[in-house]
Amino acid sequence: MFDRIPGLLTALVVVAAGLFTACGDDNAAPAASTSATTSARTTTSSDGASTSTAELVKLLRPSVVHIKSETATLDDFGRLVPSAGVGTGFIIDDKGDIVTNNHVVSTDSGDAAQDITVTLDDGSEHKAKIAGRDPPTDVAVLQIDGGNLKPATLGDSSKLEVGDDVIAIGNALDLPGGPTVTKGVVSALDRLIQEQNVTIPNAIQTDAAINPGNSGGPLVNLNGEVVGITTAVIRGSAENAEGIGLAISMETAQPIVKELIDKGRVQRGFLGVTIQEITPSLAQQFNLSVDHGVGIRSVQPGGPADKAGLRQGDIIVKLGDKDIQTSGDLFAALTEHRAGDVVEVVYFHGGDQQSTQVTLG
């Protein structure tokens, strides 16, 4: 079973049984090296400099914030029922913009939380407003008014390699005394997280422990740069199974964050089709020429796909530089494009492979 922090189903590319929640087992990875005369954990960054984990945490903590969201809804008897959620975020500029997960500042029904309080590392509390939310990628940006803010440094997640050390910082279990720090490695890259209306491509898998309350917190490399936004964990079915932590890569998040700050929403590109996922059994049943991809069930008249010559019954197998095996692959590919982008679509028409240029709507 899968849980997002809390409730996101994931299709890691592997099929995992267990609990996919916004949390993970407390299982920090061992330090890369330990001095014989001190208990401080030290690691070596890509530029060769030796930095202790404690030093990195001191650098990062002023940029990490505690987020509490509150909402009151009417029950079946017309009574107001309050609900609250807790998560983490990090400051990205001196104007008061804070990045977190959308589900941290949303109700169970998907509406925006009514009252959001951000607590800084110095203990000061600030009312926050939502600058923008992007539910499909679980990214949100908050804004606060506050002086002396310390923005986090954003890193290039495309430079990550499997085995790189990373640190997760967040308000695990909303425990008092400040954020929790866990350490691990990049276990895998380019994972795909999927659940109903959420599709997150290029996710980072880590064994750094992620727990409820960590949602929206930074995943940081050894240069002290944020390379991901912690969002979910997969737990095994065994009682003591280790958690698999997942983070939205900054490569995916940064253009979304910019658009949320600039426009308040993401204007994602669309094809203008309804689809049917192609499976080997379906391909065999209908004698299709390809056993994977996404079949077009209908085409919106005058829409992007229609203008590009795509027709009902065509099977899409590639969009841009992304191979399309499933409907999730297609949605993930579209999340990386905006209205007006021109992308190449490779598809099968009958038994022939063809391609066309589509201007996304």
Catalytic residue annotation: 103, 138, 215
Tokens 């063809």 -> residue: 354
Distance between CA atoms of residues 31 and 37, nearest Å = 15
Residue 315, both tokens: 């099977």
Q: Are 31 and 246 in contact (CB under 8 A)?
A: no
- Amino acid (one-letter) located at 235: R
Distance between CA atoms of residues 88 and 90, nearest Å = 7
CA-to-CA dists, residue 46 to 53, 144, 155, 164, 184, angstroms: 15, 34, 13, 9, 16
3-state secondary structure the chain: CEEECCCCCCCCCCCCCCEEECCCCCCCCCCCEECCCCCCEEEECCCCCEEEHHHHHHHHHHHEEEEEEEEEEECCCCCEEEEEEEEEEEECCCCCEEEEEHHHHECCCCCECCEEEEECCCCCEEEEEEEEEEHHHCEEEEECCCCCCCCCEECCHHHCCCCCEEEEEECHHHCCCCCEEEEEEEEEEEEEEEECCEEEEEEEEECCCCCCCCCCCEEECCCCEEEEEEEEEEECCCCCCCEEEEEEEHHHHHHHHHHHHHHCCCCECCCCEEEEECCHHHHHHCCCCCCCCEEEEEECCCCHHHHCCCCCCCEEEEECCEECCCHHHHHHHHHCCECCCEEEEEEEECCEEEEEEEECC
Q: Are 314 and 308 in contact (CB under 8 A)?
A: no
Distance, first Cα to last Cα, the chain: 36
